[in-house]
Amino acid sequence: MYDVYVGSGSHHRIGRGHGEQLAGAVAQNLEGFFRCMAPRGWTRQALGRRALRAERRLADARLDEIAGIAEGARRPYPEVLAYNLFYGEAFPDDCTVMFAMPDATAAGKMIFLKNSDKIGGESMVGEGFYEHKEINVVLAVRPEGKPAVVGVASAGSTGVKMGANDRGVATGTNIARTAELRTRAVNTTQERALDRVQLSRDGLEHATALEAGNAVVARLADHPMATPGNLEFVDPTLAYIIEGSYDRMAVQFIHAGVGVRTNRFVVLDALNDPEDLSSYCRYVRCTQLLGARAGRLTPADFIAFSTDHANGPGPNSICRHGVHYREETSQSAQIIEVDAADPSRSRVWLALGKPCWAWRDPAGSLELTMRFRPEEIPEGFRTGEVWKRFWTERPNVEEAVPTAAG
């Protein structure tokens, strides 16, 4: 279908390959984004101008990649820039993150999981969306002189919903459903704010969780996140967890055992919205699951956790289902098991679509190592066809089948 897939080289070249390959989906994602922002009073032109004013919030490498996407997809640069800068305002990242440090696993290797959950909306129709949800694709890139990255992204975005690099750092993000988020209108703080999926991707340019976390915290001290939320950077020696709200930030360091983040704060607990039942249910369930197998956890356990339907299947289970597209439900999942001795040999598992369907079908999930070549990623994972096939709200309540992940 495509003559060339460019997933390596300069950032501009990587972006151009992304834009050319996914031109239809990029165009539709941009249209969906502008339609989601319109009821908030933002015209396409005003968002483009706002994006150009805010351009310097992104690193040069990201800007090069965005310029490449715009060129490849033949879209105006300010539109692609606006999508990358203000994406989180239109599409919040409701997600579950679970991890185990090496002492908590059977093989002595850190394991990290994220289930990515998203809302849908009336405006989300067209080629980039499917039944009112945004299509998820695998982003696998090998930039010159920088760590290779594998993650899940939306077409047209340089940010990652979750991902890992070949130095052994994994990352994830979650919006935090605080009382303030529910009641607060857009204001000047938001005008200066940074987008979490971009911060996650920037963090993956560092070789350790400590360096990634410190770099991101320094930037957040200057410009807060666009919405309250968590950012996680985890390697075999440190889990560096950042909780950020409009006027405060907290950092938690975990060196051993297990950790969980859902759409709530743990350190900044006082800010949580008491009406947000789902985040509390998932936090408690994840903590129970990890605790029950701490010391002997395997990647196969994390695949099972990703499909867990306790408290559901529904909005409160880890694998989240809904009956209306406005509900936040699970769209994709990624697991990494980091080999500290040689991080390039770390193993990664990706599932596109509903975790309880995609993990149980070899066509819906993918295993690779961080030595991957971008062209090795099957086309359906790069274009979103796999996601379309495995995205459904219907729960798969079959017994979990054993997988290769052991």
Residues that bind Zn ion (CB under 5 A): 319, 356, 395
* Amino acid residing at 283: Y
Taking the least distance from each CB to Zn ion, the nearer of 117 and 273 is 117
Compute the distance between CA of residue 68 and CA of residue 58 in angstroms, rounded to an integer: 15
Residues in the chain: 406
Query: Which CB sits closer to Zn ion, 322 or 395?
Result: 395
Query: Is-contact 87 315, C-beta < 8 A?
Result: no
Residue 136 contacts residue 213 (beta carbons within 8 Å): no
Q: How far is the CB of 254 from Zn ion (least distance, A)?
A: 28
Give yes or no for a contact between 318 and 286, defined as CB atoms under 8 angstroms apart.
yes
Closest of 121, 127, 146 to residue 11, by C-alpha? 146
Quick one: 124 or 319, whose CB is closer to Zn ion? 319
Q: How far is the CB of 80 from Zn ion (least distance, A)?
A: 33
In the complex, least distance from residue 357 CB atom to Zn ion, rounded to whole angstroms:
7
Closer residue to Zn ion in complex, CB, 245/316:
316
Query: Residue 198 burial by CB count (10 A; 0-12/13-18/19+): exposed, middle or buried?
Result: buried
Q: State in angstroms the smallest separation of the CB of 151 from Zn ion.
A: 22
Q: Return the number of the residue (252 or 392) whose C-beta is nearest Zn ion.
A: 392
Find the shortest distance in angstroms from Cβ 292 to Zn ion: 20
In the complex, least distance from residue 322 CB atom to Zn ion, rounded to whole angstroms: 11
Spell out a b/e string for 349-358, using b for 16 or more CB atoms within 10 Å of the CB, else e. bbbbbbbbbb
Is the CB of 47 or the CB of 352 nearer to Zn ion?
352
Beta carbon of residue 288, minimum distance to Zn ion (angstroms, whole number) = 18
Q: What is the DSSP string of 187-248?
A: -HHHHT-B-HHHHHHHHTTSSSHHHHHHHHHHHHHHS-BSSSEEEEEE-SS-EEEEEE-SS-
Q: Which CB sits closer to Zn ion, 233 or 359?
A: 359
Report the half-sphere exposure of 131 (CA within 13 A, side-chain side).
16
Please say whether the dihedral angle defined by the alpha carbons of residues 354, 355, 359 and 365, taken in this order, is positive or negative: positive
Residues 6+ apart with CB under 8 A from 335: 111, 112, 113, 299, 302, 303, 306, 348, 349, 405
